[in-house]
Chain A
Amino acid sequence: MNRTAILWRVASVLVAASFIAAWQLVADLRLVSPVFLPGPDRAWAALVRGFSSGDLAGKLIGTLEHMAYGWLAASIAGIALGALIGSSRTMRAYVAPSLEFLRPLPVSAIIPVAIAMLGLTQGMALFVIAFGAIWPIMLATVHGFAAVEPRLYEVARSLQMSRAAIIGKIALPSALPDILAGMRLSLTVALILSVVCEILAGLDGLGHWVLLSARAFRSADLFAGVILLGATGYVTSIAMSLVEQRLLAWQTAAR
């Protein structure tokens, strides 16, 4: 790491620290009633308590599971459908208009439909999360497959590569930067929808925890849940960039 990178890192830590200090100050001065706003000290204590009593860890795992299953289902289906649509010009012409209609549809609008059809179940949650998370992945994949350099397909033809080899060795790696960018966007969508589904359907998870804490005016527990949700988003996104860096090492090799 060079000097400026270290300075930036220090600066960002300072900003975070002063943010927490300001929060503590607001809580200590009782600018907001402690019933609604606990200080970082109380939130932290609630976090530790939640983990040691075992409750919170279970909720966290519940949310991570909802998120992971929905996101993985969205990834598999999104990449498969996106590849199918993106690699054929006729498919793009036929399907693109429907996609444009479905894409701006807020996922919240299909939640009642999903509940009516599937009930307040894990299956409903999985469906809603996957349905919301599939769009960024699928659209990015369509774009990635449509943008494969045509010259590379000619290279593949002259090498008489099989269809499977063309997809696996030419199209997929070429579309990978787009696909990964879509998967990163979907990660956030999946987290948000996991919480929403847990709140609506009372499924075990941080969403449910946050809801119950709010109802019981246990603001410290509420904040502990929110902090965990933020950390989940942060950590998964960092993990995703590490994966991206590894898989796309060739892009940075240029300079």
Chain B
Amino acid sequence: MSVVAKLDEARAARRQKTLIAFNAATLRLGGKTIIENLDLQVRPGEFLCIVGASGCGKTTALRLAAGLYRPTSGAVTFDGEEITEPRREVAIVFQDYGKALLPWRTAAGNISLALEASRVPARERGARIEALLRKVGLPGHADKYPTEMSGGMQQRLQIARCLAQEPTTLLMDEPFGALDAMTRQGLQDEVLSLTEASQTTVIFVTHDLDEAIYLGDRVIGLLPHPGRIGIELDVDLPRPRDQLATREHPEFLRLRRQLFDFIKATEH
């Protein structure tokens, strides 16, 4: 059996399993039902994208998976265990990188925060930090403060800090929403290569339908008031993805059309 076939088999086996599961999860906040009866299974190693109109509950769903919220009824589980608190193996990349970084710590210091929390001995931190900065394309910026970095660099830094947690799962909330198109595409490819290499499971929230299809193994569209699943699309596009070839693929265009129609229908 070839290596590729073995990998495919391993991947198929993993597909059967579930890492994160929403079981009829409902969340009420301030007397309002934000998420209702959400059923969703995320497989280990899967790249799941969530799209939907503004205010439909994407962030809230992600926060449930993160353990930052607990469902009012139903359950959200990680590896079969109910999620009650955030856990170190699940890292969250926030959209507002400017607020999620410590302005009084340098790039190296911000990454160090995660290493300190995982009790990595001080003498090992330097090398780890350097490797992480290189990994996200920020070598030589260790001593810069976040305010001295561009938006794209700050978001790279936040991703590096998340990777320092050595997460098995990444939760990303519109991580590239505030970045320009070129920076965005570069970071998309970086996230794909980083997560594919380590088989990281990803839940990725975005406004950008093209981005969702480009990155995802599967795309979920949420319906608003209250948030629930309105559409679910498997993305059978070849990997590795390519900014030009993938976006011109007939299947990409078909999915894009389907998703656009869905979003348009939900918008009024």
Contact = CB atoms under 8 A, between A and B. Distances in A.
A154 B68 contact: yes
A155 B96 CA distance: 12
A254 B149 CA distance: 9
B117 A254 contact: no
Main secondary structure of the interface of A (DSSP, over half): helix
The interface centre, meaning the residue of A152, A174, A250 with most chain B CB atoms within 10 A of its CB, is: A250
Interface residues of A, number: 21
Given A165-B116, A169-B116, A155 B145 contact: no
Interface stretch (B97-105, B181-189, B194-202, B249-257): B97-105
Contact of A159 (B104, B117, B145): B117
Q: How large is the interface on B (under 10, 10 to 19, 20 to 34, 35 or more residues)?
A: 20 to 34
Interface string B221-248: 0000000000000000000000000000
Contacts of A152: 99-100, 102
B114 A159 contact: yes
Contacts of B87: 160
B102 A158 contact: no
Given A169-B116, A253-B145, A158 B91 contact: yes
A188 B118 CA distance: 43
B85 A157 contact: yes
Interface in A116-141: none
Contacts of B148: 253-254
Contacts of A251: 103
A161 B117 contact: yes
A163 to B, nearest CB: 13
Contacts of A250: 103-106, 145, 147
A154 B96 CA distance: 12
Contacts of A253: 145, 147-148
Contacts of A215: none
Given A157-B68, A158-B88, A173-B102, 4 more contacts: A158-B165, A165-B116, A173-B105, A253-B148
16 contacts: A155-B100, A155-B113, A158-B66, A158-B92, A159-B88, A159-B114, A159-B117, A160-B85, A161-B117, A169-B102, A169-B116, A170-B102, A173-B102, A174-B104, A248-B104, A250-B105
Interface of B: 66, 68, 85-88, 90-92, 94, 96, 99-100, 102-106, 113-114, 116-118, 145, 147-148, 165
